[in-house]
Amino acid sequence: MNPRWNDLNQMFGAMDLLRNRMNRINRLFTDYDRAWGGNEGWPMANNWPRTNLYDDNDHLQLVAAVPGLAKEDINIKLQGNYLEISGTRKVTVPDGYTAHRLERGGETSFSRSFTLPVDIDIDKVEATLKDGILTLQLPKAEVAKPKKITIN
């Protein structure tokens, strides 16, 4: 083989390796950035509870991860398209026990507010709590629902 050609080939080989390395690093970073990767967050952080918002044309659905909260611990306030979820998480050392490890953040109050993208039919909102997941079904106000327009 021509020695020049060999050099070239080697260079491309090195570039490929480098590109591969970069891909791997990038992958690491997307995983790192991913909100639900690694730690699930602490109540004292201002983005607690972790929340998802979905839109299925007629409804908005807000889903929040609130482990350890009973329904009495949560306050939900809705005004127009302004939604506020607040409450207190009671995580206390049980009587007569000594603590070895405390990662769950102790007793903390939290508050998180959202400006929803559309107005909501407040009377028809439903909230459920199951397995530490709070789900709000938020029907869109009639004016905010998508309408099909027929062409004359």
Partner 1 sequence: MSEKMELVNREEQSPVAGSKAPTVVPSVDIYENDDEILLYADMPGVTKEAIAINLENGRLTINGHRKVCGSGTAQLEEFGEVEYERAFSVPQGIDINKVKANMTNGVLSLHLPKSDAVKPRQIEVQAG
Residues of this chain that bind partner 1 (CB under 8 A): 9-10, 12-13, 16-17, 20, 27, 30-31, 34-40, 42, 47, 50-57, 59-61, 63, 65-70, 91, 93-94, 96-105, 117, 129, 131-133, 135
Instruction: Report the nearest approach of partner 1 to the CB of residue 37 (Å).
Output: 5
Cβ atoms of residues 117 and 60 within 8 Å: yes
Nearer to partner 1, 34 or 148 (CB): 34
Nearer to partner 1, 101 or 152 (CB): 101
Instruction: Report the nearest approach of partner 1 to the CB of residue 124 (Å).
Output: 17
Instruction: Report the nearest approach of partner 1 to the CB of residue 72 (Å).
Output: 11
Q: Provide CB contacts within 8 A for 134, sequence distance 6+.
A: 49, 63, 64, 65, 66, 69, 74, 85, 127, 128
Nearer to partner 1, 35 or 122 (CB): 35
Is the C-alpha dihedral spanning 112, 116, 120, 125 positive or negative? negative
Instruction: Report the nearest approach of partner 1 to the CB of residue 8 (Å).
Output: 12
Is the C-alpha dihedral spanning 64, 68, 72, 75 positive or negative? negative
Nearer to partner 1, 21 or 77 (CB): 21
Nearer to partner 1, 86 or 112 (CB): 112
| Alpha-carbon gap, residue 126 to 12, rounded angstroms | 60
| Alpha-carbon gap, residue 141 to 147, rounded angstroms | 12
Instruction: Report the nearest approach of partner 1 to the CB of residue 54 (Å).
Output: 4
For the record, the structure tokens of 117 come out as 């993208």
